[in-house]
């Protein structure tokens, strides 16, 4: 494996370990420190910070290179986790929410690991590099929830030791960043003509890539953040919830070993369509009941669906811009993605408390169905061409 891809995957693992543990615990901590309807506010602030900082971080990377920003982002994440631990021990909801801004900064920086991977390999291997980098999430899927279970009650109050342990994980991410051998600055050709953004935005591929990222990630976060609260309402304990989240995160990243290869064989759009189908499968299973097995199978299907949509949408996006336009396009795309994620996260507690788990899933299916229709509409010319070629071969 390419050295940079290896350390980017390790960096992804540390960032996602932080994110997966905060996902499985923050809503429960927020519920204890604040009100039930604001239980997901700390996570929402985390994603709000990610959304707001994506473009400034991209500009900093353009000026100073990716490695130093990856290093600094991990250190800021460690600071945020220390503040979160202080909020827990002092029983301060405000402090715990405030910590989310720093953890969200780490998350924002981590969104560029996959783009750095795409730039570290030849063009024909971009999809594979992106998916291999995301395999770091598999380690996170195991480490995050296990760490939560082992450390939850190690100190008082609950989860204090978990967040202290995560400080070390974030610092490990900073160490991995120092091992990267990336260009100190992102080189662009000054003679290259930069198109007006409106011209880029008129490209149907660009529109579909952005929609795939926004709907796929936002929908996944809505259901994932609501799951701990829905399981609590169904009288399931934290250990069961952590296991469900663990298998969900495994399912998010395990397909990355082969998603890139599948894209090379059947194309980006069919893989994105498969992502929609798996997500709808998640919703179908969720509607069948509220036993642990229902949550577990549903979240596994949700993770696979997210992977196909996320890798597919990222790969499609890289086909829509020239080299000198990538800072604007990448940051614009991820800003919209995390705007959707922030809204989904903030309202997930209120929605699951007001509508219930069953109705929430019904509403979540609507944007996925619309996205699937859009993908099929764009696939239609390709299918017609394939049919004509097949007919010609028969003759």
pLDDT tens sequence for the chain (395 residues): 588 899 999 999 999 899 878 877 887 888 888 877 777 788 888 888 988 898 899 889 988 889 999 999 999 999 999 999 999 999 999 999 999 999 999 999 998 898 888 888 887 787 788 878 888 888 887 787 778 778 888 998 888 999 999 999 999 999 999 998 876 554 445 455 578 888 888 899 999 999 999 999 999 989 988 998 899 889 998 788 878 988 888 898 888 888 888 988 888 999 999 999 999 999 999 999 999 999 999 999 999 999 999 889 988 998 888 877 887 888 889 889 888 888 888 888 888 889 999 999 999 999 999 999 999 988 876 655 555 555 565 55
Which tokens is 143 given?
Answer: 């480490």
Which tokens is 200 given?
Answer: 């880029």
CATH code, 135: 1.20.1250.20
Query: How far is Cα 274 from Cα 282, in angstroms, rounded to an integer?
Result: 12
**In-domain check, residue 191:** no
Q: Is the peptide bond before 355 cis (omega within 30 degrees of 0)?
A: no
Residues of the domain holding 240: 3-185+196-394
**In-domain check, residue 190:** no
- Looking at the structure of the chain, the number of domains it has is 1
| Backbone phi and psi for residue 375, each to the nearest 5 degrees, phi listed first | -65, -45
Burial of 34 (0-12, 13-18, 19+ CB in 10 A): middle
**In-domain check, residue 105:** yes
Query: How far is Cα 56 from Cα 299, in angstroms, rounded to an integer?
Result: 33
Residue that the structure tokens 């507690």 belong to:
349
DSSP 191: T
Which tokens is 237 given?
Answer: 């304990």
Angle, alpha carbons 241-243-244 (nearest 5°): 65
Angle, alpha carbons 22-369-301 (nearest 5°): 45
Signed CA dihedral, 48, 53, 58, 61: sign only: negative
Signed CA dihedral, 4, 5, 9, 10: sign only: negative
HSE of 205 in the Cβ direction (CA atoms, 13 Å)?
Answer: 14
Query: How far is Cα 392 from Cα 395, in angstroms, rounded to an integer?
Result: 5
33 with 92: CB under 8 angstroms? Answer: yes
Residues 6+ apart with CB under 8 A from 10: 136, 176
Signed CA dihedral, 122, 311, 240, 338: sign only: positive
Query: How far is Cα 48 from Cα 79, in angstroms, rounded to an integer?
Result: 18
DSSP 284-336: HHHTT--SHHHHHHHHHHHHHHHHHHHHHHHHHHTTSS-GGGHHHHHHHHHHH
Query: How far is Cα 265 from Cα 284, in angstroms, rounded to an integer?
Result: 28
| Backbone phi and psi for residue 65, each to the nearest 5 degrees, phi listed first | 90, 160
**In-domain check, residue 357:** yes
């Amino acid at each position: 494996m390419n050295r940079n891809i290896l350390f980017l995957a390790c960096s992804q693992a540390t960032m996602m370990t932080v994110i997966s543990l905060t996902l499985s615990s923050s809503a429960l901590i927020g519920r204890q420190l604040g009100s039930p309807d604001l239980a997901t506010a700390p996570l929402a602030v985390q994603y709000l910070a990610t959304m707001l900082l994506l473009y400034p971080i991209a500009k900093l990377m353009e000026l100073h290179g990716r490695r130093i920003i990856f290093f600094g982002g991990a250190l800021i994440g460690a600071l945020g986790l220390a503040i979160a631990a202080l909020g827990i021990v002092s029983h301060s909801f405000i402090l715990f929410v405030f910590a989310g801004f720093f953890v969200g900064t780490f998350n924002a920086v981590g969104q560029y690991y996959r783009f750095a991977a795409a730039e570290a390999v030849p063009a024909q291997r971009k999809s594979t590099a992106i998916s291999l980098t995301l395999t770091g999430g598999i380690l996170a899927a195991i480490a995050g929830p296990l760490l939560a279970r082992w450390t939850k009650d190690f100190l008082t109050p609950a989860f204090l030791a978990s967040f202290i342990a995560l400080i070390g994980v974030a610092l490990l991410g900073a160490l991995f960043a120092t091992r990267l051998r990336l260009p100190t600055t992102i080189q662009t050709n000054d003679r290259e003509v930069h198109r007006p953004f409106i011209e880029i935005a008129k490209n149907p591929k660009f529109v579909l890539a952005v929609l795939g990222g926004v709907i796929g990630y936002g929908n996944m976060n809505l259901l994932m953040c609501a799951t701990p609260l829905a399981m609590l309402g169904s009288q399931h304990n934290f250990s069961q919830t952590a296991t469900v989240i663990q298998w969900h995160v495994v399912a998010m990243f395990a397909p990355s070993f082969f998603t890139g290869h599948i894209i090379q064989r059947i194309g980006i759009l069919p893989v994105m369509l498969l992502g929609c189908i798996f997500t709808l499968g998640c919703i179908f299973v969720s509607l069948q009941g509220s036993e642990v097995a229902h949550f577990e199978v549903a979240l596994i299907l949700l993770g696979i669906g997210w992977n196909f949509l996320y890798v597919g949408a990222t790969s499609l996006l890289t086909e829509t811009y020239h080299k000198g336009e990538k800072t604007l396009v990448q940051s614009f795309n991820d800003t919209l993605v995390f705007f959707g994620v922030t809204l989904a996260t903030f309202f997930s507690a209120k929605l699951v408390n007001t509508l219930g788990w069953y109705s929430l899933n019904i509403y979540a299916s609507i944007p996925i169905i619309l996205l699937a229709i859009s993908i099929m509409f764009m696939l239609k010319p390709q299918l017609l061409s394939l049919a004509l070629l097949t007919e010609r071969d028969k003759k």
